[in-house]
Structure 1
Amino acid sequence: MFSTTLLPAAAIAVLFISIIVYTSPCASFGTGGFSVRLIHRDSPRSPLYDPNLTAADRTTAAVRRSISRLNYFESLMSSPMEIAPKLTPDDGEYLMFFQLGTPPVPVYAIVDTGSDLTWLQCLPCKTCYNQTQPLFDPSKSSTYKKVPCSSPSCAALEVKECTEDTKSCYYDLVYGDGTSTMGILSGDTLTFEDRFRNNVTFPNITFGCSDSTYGTFEKNQGGIVGLNRNPFSLISQLEVKQFSHCMVPPDQDDSGSRMQFGSNAVISGDMTPLAFESTYNYYLILEGISVGNDKLPIPEGIFNLTKDFEGGFIIDSGTTYTLLRREAFLVLVDALGEKIHLQQKADPSNRFPLCFVAASFDELASAPVITFHFKGADVVFPQQSTYTKAFDWLWCLAMLPSNDISILGNFQQQNFHVGFDISKKLVSFAASDCAAF
């Protein structure tokens, strides 16, 4: 029987986004919204791109990141009342590019859907990791401000202290593995750039100006951008009530991948309610799974979230491959093994539990589709979003088993407009050719 060994807490993954903002010519954010372009970390456009990695190397890394992300959610929900999530910044999927301050200074930072406070390393820095890009110098920004201790923002930040010399709000966040960031809670102007090189600015964005950082970070990373629904997250500060994304499959030109915010968000297709009021995660109600026309004999309630915060089904754009509760996963593997009449072969790298020998992907074209039956929404995943190429002759089910939480990964979300309506507490799915969008 295939088993997945959970990685240690130091291997937890996060989401990365590379952003280019698009606005309609006559619309501000308040009326027209804005869109961003997503660039995969393995794209030649990414600063994390390593041309020496093979396709098998990248697949192995994606498996590791998926299991790491699972670790993150399980550790987070094991202590749901803690202020700081148990997170270690690690290799992820996308990077975010933005500019900060006046005049604007370019920044690349990790985007994490499980964090709230955005922070980056600033001068003067007492203890900082060695990053490629220059550290942000607040003394050179005319719009930079320190958040005073008397501010409501400081009062809302529970992990803090006030410095006696300046009366500034000094934050101190310690993550589950001992990684930490400390510094001055600050405010400044956040700037994006549209396709015509026009600036789209958001003033007075609160962030952490870190002067002490401990832990393992990559030199291309400049900090963390929080995108959960807690008060300090970028989504909350921009008062975004709707957002969506459309991801192009990785074997195509990923320049068409986009995320839309505000009125630009695509909320259409089948809709399913958010199941749990978590500001860290988006929980859905998965009622069953079908292979072809046959609904699988999966125990009822296997994907439910318990009162002790165990289990549940999360949709997450930061996880690559979908993870399913082992009891359901094994039923799915058995059903596919019976219905797909191709030679099965074990994955030599022991990454995936179900693999088929095929000269090309076309041999899987007749394989039965997998349908996830969410409450109110049946989402059918095409073969391109179901199987991944492990080697030249081997194609594998792009899903993994989990001992607790189940997660819908971004590989399965490809070529769907996935929309999040926070005010109506809905998530929508609409099949689409994301490259043509």
Structure 2
Amino acid sequence: MVSSLPPIFLALLIFFCLQQKPCNAHKYLKLPLHHKNPFTTPPQTLTSDTQRLFTLSSSFQTQKTLKTPVISGASTGSGQYFVDFNIGTPPQKLLLIADTGSDLIWVKCSPCRNCSRHPPGTAFLARHSKTFSPFHCYNRACRLVPPPPKPNPCNLTKLHSTCRYEYSYADTSKTSGFFSREIATLNASSGREMKLKNLAFGCGFHVSGPSVTGSSFNGAHGVMGLGRGPISFSSQVGKRFGNKFSYCLMDYTISPPPTSYLIIGEAHEPNSKKPMKFTPLHTNPLSPTFYYVGIESVSVNGVSLPIDPSVWTIDGDGNGGTVIDSGTTLTFLAEPGYRQILAEFKRLVRLPRMVGPDASFELCVNVSDVANPRLPRLVVRFLGGAIFEPPPRNYFIDAADGVKCLALLPVNSPSGFSVIGNLMQQGFLFEFDRDESRLGFTRIGCAVS
């Protein structure tokens, strides 16, 4: 879910350094990502992911830490992870999707005065906040959001000449309203609160389309964009916390589910006996929001597959590449690479084959009579030598009683890119180091064996 935005990075830096003082103050904030119920059904997940993948690929155009809970959206049919978000004075509690594949922070808004039809927690009631303040349309911050097709005339002398935005998605979904600033109150896992003043966000009075109202959005009141663009949460708040953020997505099959976390700031101990592995983050001028990584090779059960490295790279037109995305559940791979990986899995799996609940999964096996099925091990070697070795449960899902399916799918479009989804990321702490332009990951302090 993204929309391309003007890259006014210098103006943004000056603007947010003025708004978020001090810009060089590093702190640690840890915000829980609460997990709700077990994984949604494969057909629901496929519908949500396919819709999202279309949206994403069509978008071309000494430190402490803050750590906050993240809620899995699996039970809503979305496969998303949710963050508690308190905004306004007094604070109004909403639930946002934590999304590394988009930039704008936005919430559903209501302009009501008598809000009996909008009970607390269903939308942000702008008139009920003492600190709600839309940007004027001449404010330089207004240039960071896409305007509506026919904006009202902007009059510098009129207080009501607010900054209007319209953020559209490839499937015709959109949110539109006032680009505004507010006080956000974040509840850290330690129990303490932190107030973020003048946080820029979209107050969406009009929200429409399947990406933001359908099953993939059920239960959420907006999106916390964590992308690389200037208006994302990680860009606005990052300088206060070392310009890093990370998350730890726990195994959804564990009952009761452990708490996942979104961490703003330093995510690991630099002197750990098992330090974090790092791989460079790449940029794509045609899709500046996304966090691209480079894949050097892929192996199955220790055998490196002869996949042409160009399969995983960004070409001269900005097509292809590989993206880490928290908002996509399954993992999608470029067709040539997917076919070779699938063929190797089919060759190695000795369990009885069967038809899964969704025809899109090309390898499903019967495990009803096997207590601990032995499944092939997938290993990805990223550029820089970092080895990513997820457990089989991250890519073989329980599709039905006694049925496991390989949860990898092909990307057929030449302009599309591979996506490493949140299911594949479970059990790892991923750190997005924006200053060093690198992605770190480790199982220390996150994985449950």
TM-score of the superposition, structure 2-length normalised?
Answer: 0.77
Q: Is the 8 A contact 1:282 1:315 kept in 2?
A: yes
Residues in 1 aligned to 2:174 and 2:279: alpha-carbon distance in whole angstroms: 37
How far apart are residue 323 of structure 1 and its match?
1.1
Pair 159,269 (structure 1): closer, same or farther in 2 beyond 3 Å: same
Moved more, 192-201 or 370-379: 192-201
Match of 1:34 in 2: 29
1:413 and 2:431 are equivalent in the alignment: no
Cα distance in 1 between the residues matched to 2:141 and 2:248: 34
Contact 2:32 2:188 in 1 (8 A): no
Q: How does 1:259-408 map to 2 (within 5 A)?
A: 259-264=262-267, 268-277=275-284, 278-359=287-368, 362-365=371-374, 367-376=375-384, 377-403=386-412, 404-408=416-420
CA contact (8 A) 1:37 1:255 kept: no
Equivalent of 1:254 in 254, 257, 277: 257
In the alignment, structure 1 segments of 5+ residues that lack a partner are 1-11, 15-27, 44-54, 81-89
AA partner of residue 156 (structure 1): L
- AA matched with 2:85: F
Q: Distance in 2 between matches of 1:300 and 1:196?
A: 44
Q: How far has the Cα of 1:141 moved from its partner?
A: 2.1
Could you tell me which of 115, 119, 141 is aligned with 2:106? 119
- In the TM superposition, what is the alpha-carbon distance from 1:180 to its structure 2 partner? 2.8
1:62-112 per-position Cα deviation (integer Å, ceiling 9, x unaligned): 2322322321222113xx2xxxxxxxxx93412222111111111223343
Partners of 2:400 and 2:269 in 1: CA distance: 36
Asked whether the equivalents of residues 13 and 69 of structure 1 are also in contact (C-alpha less than 8 Å), the reply is no
- Residues 266 and 336 of structure 1, relative CA distance in 2, 3 Å threshold: farther
Is contact 1:149–1:168 with CA below 8 Å preserved after alignment?
Answer: yes
In 2: Cα distance, 1:315 partner to 1:149 partner: 34
**Aligned-partner Cα distance in 1 for 2:378–2:265:** 31
Whole-Å separation in 2 of the counterparts to 1:426 and 1:244: 12
Instruction: List per-residue Cα deviations over 1:138-169 (Å, max 9, x = no partner).
Output: 33322222212332212333426454452322
Distance 1:266 1:286, change over 3 A: farther
- What do you get for the CA RMSD once the two structures are aligned? 3.1
Contact 2:112 2:125 in 1 (8 A): no
Shift of 1:61: 1.7
Structure 2 equivalent of residue 245 of structure 1 = 247
**Secondary structure of the structure 1 residue equivalent to 2:26:** helix
Q: Which residue of 1 aligns with 2:232?
A: 233
For residue 195 of structure 1, report the CA deviation from its aligned partner. 4.4
Q: For residues 68-83 of structure 1, what are the structure 2 equivalents within 5 Å? A: 68-77=51-60, 80=61
Letter in 1 for 2:133: K
- TM-superposed deviation, 1:361: 6.3
Aligned residue type for 2:201: F
Query: Displacement, 1:294?
Result: 1.0
| CA shift for structure 1 position 227 | 1.9
Cα displacement (A) at 1:419:
1.5
Q: Return the letter of the residue paired with 1:155.
A: R
Alpha-carbon distance in structure 1 between the residues aligned to 2:173 and 2:112: 16
Runs (4 or more) in structure 1 with deviation over 6 Å come to none
Tell me how far 1:255 sits from its aligned partner.
2.9
2:168 alignment partner in structure 1: 174
1:59 to 2:42 alignment? yes
The alpha-carbon distance between structure 1 residues 178 and 338, as it changes in their structure 2 partners (threshold 3 A), is closer
Structure-2 separation of matches of 1:360 and 1:40? 30
> Structure 1 residue 201: deviation in Å?
0.8
Cα distance between partner residues in 1 of 2:24 and 2:196 = 9
The amino acid across from 2:237 in the alignment is L
- Unaligned regions of 5+ residues in structure 2, if any? 4-22, 62-76
User: Equivalents in 2 of 1:58, 1:393: separation in Å?
Assistant: 14
C-alpha distance in 2 between matches for 1:29 and 1:435? 32
Whole-angstrom distance in 1 between the partners of 2:28 and 2:55: 31
Of 301-310 and 212-221, more deviation after overlay is shown by: 212-221
Aligned to 1:87: none
Alpha-carbon offset, residue 354 of structure 1 = 0.9
Asked if structure 2 preserves the Cα contact closer than 8 Å seen for 1:34 and 1:264, the reply is no
The correspondence of residues 3-152 of structure 1 with structure 2, limited to 5 A, is 30-40=25-35, 42=37, 58-77=41-60, 80=61, 91-124=78-111, 133-152=121-140
